[in-house]
Amino acid sequence: MPAFANPYGGNVPKKMTKEELIQALRIDIASELEAIFLYEAHALAIDDEVAKKVLRDIRDEEKEHIGELMSLMQYLDGDMAGFLKEGNGEVKEMM
């Protein structure tokens, strides 16, 4: 649920360390996933094709954001890059 009532809610009181930024990116990724869920739920709940198209376009932009955030995460956290590669390999073996 948005917390827009506090205009300072998103401010960070100090420069973040690399580790703190990685933690913040995890929250950002979770927020993008939540947005995807909500836009798709709204699109599924209506019949208007124009509204569906717009909502699904916005949903897809959120998916791009996840890709951007994951790329940044891999840049900042070399271990994450290895785990993602390993996970991709395991899925490919099952396909």
Q: How many residues does the chain have?
A: 95
Nearest Cα residue to 26 out of 79, 55, 66:
66
Whole-angstrom Cα distance, residue 3 to residue 7?
Answer: 8
Token duo for residue 93 = 């073996």
Whole-angstrom Cα distance, residue 25 to residue 36?
Answer: 16
- What's the whole-model pTM score? 0.83
For the chain, helix (H) and strand (E) counts, in that order, are 3, 0
| Digit-coded pLDDT (tens) for 14-46 | 899 999 999 999 999 999 999 999 999 999 999
pLDDT for residue 4? 65
